[in-house]
């Protein structure tokens, strides 16, 4: 898998996808979003990649936003197409059948924070700076930021970040519930890899079904969500992995999951 604006590497069940435009602080242009879609399609069928870690190349940025240079002169039709492309890409990440962890290793601004928010969860380096500064450019978060951020941290906190456009540091991102954990910059990838490895060793079907159940039930009432869970849970007994996981426990051996 080779791309102009991405680096994709698969090792130990983990696909590391790095956005690779460090000279533009990994800003998201159309080409990069299309490549991300392509990479996800290719990783979908790869059994040796059970989990994705999304990060940015270079020491400075995860993603500093949508590409301002590319957006500046867009007409409304082009802006709408760009918006569709962004929503589609982030939706693909959010609903991808395998988990996607954001390893935020520097600036995650605007579309950069929004892409991180579409991942299953976010780990940040101590040097990370996060924010949605779109209003300072005369626009507002348009890749789902007005929807995912309030759902994650609450309406008031999200509105404060969106209206002020101010950047917050890693510790504040953790305090607000945007980041699950903060790591020293030189330890971020090691720590994320450890967690990803743990997840990759678990039953892939089970992890995927759990992701779907959490996502599908999140915006529903508890009772409807429980129906989703019960149905999926019942269906998990149709998988090889369920028989293997329980069989292995009873036989006191390590399970050999197949993701089937």
The label of the residue with tokens 């992995």 reads 241
Is residue 134 annotated as part of the catalytic site, yes or no?
Answer: yes
Which span (31-39, 133-141, 180-188, 243-251) binds ligand DAK, by CB under 6 A? 133-141
Provide the CB-side half-sphere exposure for 114 (13 A, CA).
26
Q: Does 133 interact with ligand DAK (rule: CB under 6 A)?
A: yes
Q: In sequence order, what DSSP letters do the residues of 106-159 get, joined into one string?
A: SEEETHHHHHHHTSSEEEEETT-EEE-GGGGGT----SSHHHHHHHHH-HHHHH
> Taking a C-beta distance cutoff of 8 angstroms, is the pair 31, 89 a contact?
no
Task: State the minimum distance, in angstroms, from the CB of residue 69 to ligand DAK.
Answer: 5
Is residue 114 part of the annotated active site? The answer reads yes
Q: Name beta bridge partners: 182.
A: 124
Rounded CA gap, 218 and 210, in Å?
A: 12
174 binds ligand DAK (CB under 6 A): no
Q: In what order do the strands lie in the sheet with 168-169?
A: 61-63, 107-109, 129-131, 168-169
**Residue 37 or 83 with smaller CB distance to ligand DAK:** 83
- The three-class DSSP label of residue 25 is coil
**Between residues 123 and 143, which has the closer beta carbon with respect to ligand DAK?**
143
- Give the nearest distance from C-beta 55 to ligand DAK in angstroms: 16
**For ligand DAK, which is the closer residue by CB, 71 or 206?**
71
Catalytic residue of the set 70, 78, 94, 114: 114
Q: Which of residues 22-81 bind ligand DAK (CB under 6 A)?
A: 24-25, 27, 64-69, 71, 79
Q: How far is the CB of 250 from ligand DAK (least distance, A)?
A: 51
- Return the residue of 13, 56, 99, 111 that touches ligand DAK, per CB under 6 A: 111
Q: Tell me the window of 94-102, 103-111, 151-159, 213-221 that interacts with ligand DAK (CB under 6 A).
A: 103-111
Q: In what order do the strands lie in the sheet with 100-104?
A: 6-11, 13-19, 49-56, 100-104, 121-125, 181-183
Catalytic sites, residue numbers:
114, 134
Interacting residue ranges for ligand DAK, rule: CB under 6 A: 24-25, 27, 64-69, 71, 79, 82-83, 86, 107, 109-111, 133-134, 137, 142-143
């Amino acid at each position: 898998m080779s791309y102009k604006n991405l680096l994709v590497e698969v090792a130990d069940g983990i696909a590391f996808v790095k956005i690779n435009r460090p000279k533009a602080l990994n800003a998201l242009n159309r080409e990069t979003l299309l490549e991300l879609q392509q990479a996800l399609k290719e990783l979908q069928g790869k059994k040796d990649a059970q989990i994705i870690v999304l990060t940015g190349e270079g020491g400075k940025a995860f993603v500093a936003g949508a590409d301002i240079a590319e957006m500046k002169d867009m007409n409304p039709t082009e802006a709408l197409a760009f918006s569709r492309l962004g929503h589609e890409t982030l939706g693909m990440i959010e609903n991808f059948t395998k988990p996607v962890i954001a390893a935020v290793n520097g600036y995650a601004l605007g579309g950069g924070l929004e892409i991180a928010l579409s991942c299953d969860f976010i780990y940040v380096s101590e040097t990370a700076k996060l924010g949605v500064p779109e209003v300072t450019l005369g626009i507002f978060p348009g890749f789902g930021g007005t929807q995912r951020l309030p759902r994650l941290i609450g309406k008031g906190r999200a509105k404060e970040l969106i209206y002020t456009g101010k950047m917050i540091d890693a510790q504040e991102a953790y305090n607000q519930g945007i980041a699950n954990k903060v790591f020293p910059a030189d330890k971020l990838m090691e720590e994320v890899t450890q967690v990803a490895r743990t997840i990759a060793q678990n039953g892939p079907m089970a992890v995927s079904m759990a992701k779907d159940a959490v996502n599908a039930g999140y915006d529903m009432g508890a009772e409807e969500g429980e129906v989703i869970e019960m149905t999926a849970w019942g269906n998990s007994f149709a998988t090889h992995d369920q028989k293997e996981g329980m069989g292995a426990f009873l036989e006191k051996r390590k399970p050999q999951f197949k993701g089937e």
